[in-house]
Amino acid sequence: MDFTLTEEQRMIRDVAREFAQQEIAPVAAQHDESGEFPLETVRKMGELGLLGIEVPEEYGGAGLDTVAYVLALEEISKADAAHGTIMSVCNSLFCHGLLHFGTEEQKQKFLVPVASGKWIGAYSLTEPGSGSDAAGMRTRAVQEGNEYIINGRKSWVTNGPVADAIVLFAVTDPRAEPRHRGITAFVIETDKPGFVQGKVEPKLGIRASATCECLYENYRCPAENRLGAEGEGFKIAMTVLDAGRIGIAAQAVGIAQAAYEASVQYTKERYAFGRPIAEFQAIQFKLADMATRIEAARLLTLNAALAKERSKKTGERYTKLASMAKLFASETAMWVAHQAVQIHGGMGYSKELPIERYFRDAKITEIYEGTSEIQRLVIARNVLREIGHAL
């Protein structure tokens, strides 16, 4: 596996790093405290091409590859995981779906404004009664002439309160067998009647990334805004999540790296028993394990990114590698953040330092875009399929 970076990949990583450290890091704690969506910095990220990194330039994006995407997302998430969430939803969950399944008209109407940062995109699969069991959704779309009438309630919509357009999944054929073949994808315009923003979720972490319920009350969706064919929605949802999970892996690596770097610095400055705590073996072993796990998580993430790049030529799925990267990186972020709090002692528990924020932010990476349990299920199913034992 060749992980040598190209000139373009290095360039976007450096642009993201500089922007993250100069513009995002100084406001991260304040946005975490207030929960206010950081519209100003998000718009600037759009101007830098960070919201549509893999989208071709003709559709408003930066025209780069998946490796460039994960490098940039790690840098942004290292400064602030909430910005990382907003960036990953726009890039993977919205743009990826439109780029691969959208018509030319849909690309012009929805992809161009989101990839260029003028609009905010979102993705809406989860419902109050269906999270891990995504095919158990109940939101209904009934065709009437040239429109679909949509009714239902979606939950945990990241970017929901500020989204201009949302990729939504709804049941068009409740009698379909198996049930996932009755699900269809749509692109929703949030300024149209029948779209109602529900309660905003108060969250443990990534507090500046707005999350809400979205209600559909006789929302009339033009048939031309259907994404893909009727009944293809579940496969579109899963294909998009494969890409999304690589992004969450990169976000997790960024959070872990931030917690690790702060810890290394602290161990040099903090004295106990007359010595910097870096000189105690109990601390050294923690730093060694943190560094090793982060390196492994980063390599798995790059490996999945390269597999996604290859799939652009071969069409081969990279589901297993994306889930492996997401599983390992998210559990690494949680573990590293936990060690960082422990190394910092009372200061790790205090709001004076960002360590407790890393700890709170890391947790979501083990939950959204498929819990760690779902990633293990996906990996196991793929491993068994490879030896001819499909479940």
37 is an interface residue for ligand CAA by CB under 6 A: no
How far, in Å, CA of 173 to CA of 153, rounded? 17
Query: Can you read off the two tokens belonging to residue 33?
Result: 């405290």
- Helix 81-88 with 355-364: angle, nearest 10 deg: 30
- Report how far apart, in Å, the C-alpha atoms of 268 and of each of 1, 253, 338 are: 35, 23, 19
Q: How far apart are CA 264 and CA 281, in angstroms?
A: 13
- Element holding 85 (H helix, E strand): helix 81-88
**Residue 230 binds ligand CAA (CB under 6 A):** no
- Could you say which of 53, 89, 255, 329 contacts ligand CAA (CB under 6 A)? 89
66 near ligand CAA (CB under 6 A): no
**Piece in contact with ligand CAA (CB under 6 A), picked from 13-21, 43-51, 125-133, 163-171:** 125-133
Residue 120 DSSP one-character state:
-
d(CA 365, CA 385): 27
Does position 99 interact with ligand CAA (CB under 6 A)? The reply is no
| Residue 162 per-residue DSSP state | G
Interface mask (CB under 6 A) for ligand CAA, residues 351-390, using x and -?
A: -----------------xxx---x--xx------------
Q: Which is nearer to ligand CAA, 95 or 135 (CB)?
A: 135
Closest separation between CB of residue 247 and ligand CAA, Å?
9
126/301 with CB nearer ligand CAA: 126
Q: How far is the CB of 371 from ligand CAA (least distance, A)?
A: 7
According to the binding rule CB under 6 A, does residue 156 interact with ligand CAA?
A: yes
- Answer for the pair 100, 241: CB distance below 8 angstroms, yes or no: no
Q: Is 240 in the site for ligand CAA (CB under 6 A)?
A: no
CB of 196 to ligand CAA, least distance (A): 18
Q: Are 352 and 346 in contact (CB under 8 A)?
A: no
Examine residue 239 and tell whether it contacts ligand CAA (CB under 6 A): yes
- Tell me: does residue 158 bind ligand CAA (CB under 6 A): yes
Among 181, 270, 338, 363, the residue binding ligand CAA under the rule CB under 6 A is 181
Stretch that binds ligand CAA, among 105-113, 131-139, 254-262, 287-295 (CB under 6 A): 131-139
What single string gives the DSSP state of each residue in 292-346?
HHHHHHHHHHHHHHHHHHHHHHH----HHHHHHHHHHHHHHHHHHHHHHHHHHTH
Catalytic residues: 369
Distance, in Å, from the CA atom of 317 to the CA atom of 320, rounded to the nearest integer, reads 8
CB of residue 132 to ligand CAA, shortest distance in Å: 5
CA distance 226 to 364: 30
Looking at the Cβ atoms of 125 and 343, the one nearer to ligand CAA is 125
- Residues of the shown chain interacting with ligand CAA in the complex, contacts defined by CB under 6 A: 89, 123, 125-126, 132, 134-135, 156-158, 180-181, 234-235, 238-239, 241-242, 317, 319, 368-370, 374, 377-378
